[in-house]
Structure 1
Amino acid sequence: MCQNIMPDWWEMIDLKRTLIKVKKGQRFIEESNKISGVFFVQDGFVKVHKHWGEREMIVRFAKKGDIVGHRGISGGNSLSPISATAMKDSVLCFLELDFFRSLLKTNNTFAYELMMFYADELQWSEQKMGSLVHLSVKERFIVNLLYLINHLGLDKENVLKAELTKTDLAAYIGTTYETIYRVISEMENENILLFSGKQIQIVDLEKLKLGFV
């Protein structure tokens, strides 16, 4: 946000924003509750999720610099379609909805960049939903893992820069824990990746990419 806001607004943002510290496991947006504003992750890691029948579906993950709560900005519905929970101790920057809308109306570059973000997210969401019908669980896992690598990055040891459990991955991909366990075991045997605790190390990135060709 700050990269695309006109300097004249910076002082007002400092006055209007609220920094909120949330603990690991703390939910700060509740599905179906009234929307009060949007959050930017200043530090930490967050999951955005919602109910999918009897199960939880993780919609996306948000890292430092990402926006959370934007899915609830609507002219016709004031209830949040998602929940958001900290996956580690995090610091959030909160802006009330009316002020956030004022920023959009008066900062064209910011509004444009947010529109591009919406477009990219919609495209990925449609691709992800299509994969539920057309791809096997292993193929869905590969597609989503490659997306997470691109979005979150790898460290010097080729470990994904986020700690995720097999339960998290199952909820993100749309399958069961038992199925994701089998898929990961198979890919470990193929020497493509290693899963240790909550860390995913990519042993052979090219081989991972070829798994979806």
Structure 2
Amino acid sequence: MNNQQIDCVNCSNTNCIIKQNSHVNELKPFLDDKLTVYVKKGQPFILEGAPVHGLYFIYKGKTKVGKTGINGREQIVRLCNDGEIIGHRGFGIGQSYHISAVAIEDTILCNFSNNNIIKMLQSVPELSYSMMLFYAEELNRSENKVRKIAQMTVREKVIDSLLYINRKFGKTGAFLNIQLSRKEIADFAGTTDEQVIRVISALKKEGILKTEGKKIGIHQLEKLKRDIAEHNFFIDS
């Protein structure tokens, strides 16, 4: 990847909050003060417990956001792609991050420092309003996830996670457009590696899934959806 500076005004990520407000004249002076960060696959760029150093916006790539759970096991709380914000839960409420973040593939990030973000929010009401709506939506998703996932069996948790990944990242050819290990799927679904392996194996025997190494393809999407239809819910966090 070339070390080029990303231009927010001409950015193609229309779902990015900064891009959505880049037309506001009061915001433009702050856009030149951001950092463009290039992260290799598997490289962490936020460490849990490290000092907060602003917000990250994904320009291009995929990342996982995790939190240390019981007995030191990682729980993946979010999977993120182009245009999404990372680090927002620690911003403004403490001196250290309560999450970690790692690139799933080579990723380009836009980083705005704490001081820069604070000045932007104080100077641009449109941006403050967009951030308020974003936080409200995040809270609603988190509450729904906690409430619903408690009602799911292990099989349903794994299926729901696969449907979420399919909806969010799509597919390339016959396989999902993201490669996660069985452990990463388990850490996201809130179960164990062994249980994920068993569920995926069962779904393959039923002709619903197919695999090739880490790659997973959904062969019968509607049948997979019907398996958890009673919940009328797919994790969206």
TM-score w.r.t. structure 1 length? 0.90
Structure 1 runs of 4+ with >6 Å offset: none
Q: Within 1, Cα distance between the matches of 2:86 and 2:184? A: 18
Are the structure 2 counterparts of residues 189 and 109 from structure 1 closer, same or farther at C-alpha, using a change threshold of 3 Å?
farther
Residue of structure 1 equivalent to 2:147: 130
Tell whether the 8 Å contact from 1:21 to 1:91 is kept in structure 2 after alignment: yes
| SS, match of residue 84 in structure 1 | strand
The Cα of 1:39 is off from its aligned counterpart by 0.7
After superposition, give the CA deviation of every residue in 1:33-64 in whole Å (9 maximum; x if it has no partner). 21110111112111100100121000101111
Q: Within 2, Cα distance between the matches of 1:66 and 1:23? A: 18
Deviates more, 1:22-31 or 1:119-128: 119-128
Amino acid at match of 1:69: G
Residue of structure 1 equivalent to 2:126: 109
The Cα of 1:24 is off from its aligned counterpart by 1.4
Q: Within 2, Cα distance between the matches of 1:9 and 1:143? A: 42
The Cα of 1:124 is off from its aligned counterpart by 2.4
Q: Within 2, Cα distance between the matches of 1:9 and 1:24? A: 36
Pick aligned residue for 1:166 from 182, 194, 201: 182
Q: Within 1, Cα distance between the matches of 2:21 and 2:165? A: 25
Tell whether the 8 Å contact from 1:6 to 1:107 is kept in structure 2 after alignment: no
Percent pairwise identity: 36
Q: Within 1, Cα distance between the matches of 2:144 and 2:24? A: 37
Instruction: Say whether 1:177 aligns with 2:193.
Output: yes
Q: Within 2, Cα distance between the matches of 1:150 and 1:96? A: 32
Are the structure 2 counterparts of residues 5 and 85 from structure 1 closer, same or farther at C-alpha, using a change threshold of 3 Å?
same
Report the number of matched residues.
211
Residue of structure 2 equivalent to 1:141: 158
What is the root-mean-square deviation in Å for CA atoms of aligned residues? Answer: 1.8
Pick aligned residue for 2:77 from 32, 49, 59: 59
Amino acid at match of 2:78: R
The Cα of 1:100 is off from its aligned counterpart by 1.0
The Cα of 1:11 is off from its aligned counterpart by 4.2
Residue of structure 1 equivalent to 2:226: 210
| SS, match of residue 183 in structure 1 | helix
Instruction: Say whether 1:74 aligns with 2:60.
Output: no
| SS, match of residue 141 in structure 2 | helix
| SS, match of residue 70 in structure 1 | coil
Q: Within 2, Cα distance between the matches of 1:188 and 1:101? A: 50
After superposition, give the CA deviation of every residue in 1:1-49 in whole Å (9 maximum; x if it has no partner). 1122344246423421111111112111111121110111112111100
Residue of structure 2 equivalent to 1:98: 115
More helix by share: 1
| SS, match of residue 98 in structure 2 | coil
Are the structure 2 counterparts of residues 158 and 110 from structure 1 closer, same or farther at C-alpha, using a change threshold of 3 Å?
farther
Amino acid at match of 1:72: G
Runs of 5+ in structure 2 lacking a partner?
1-17, 230-237
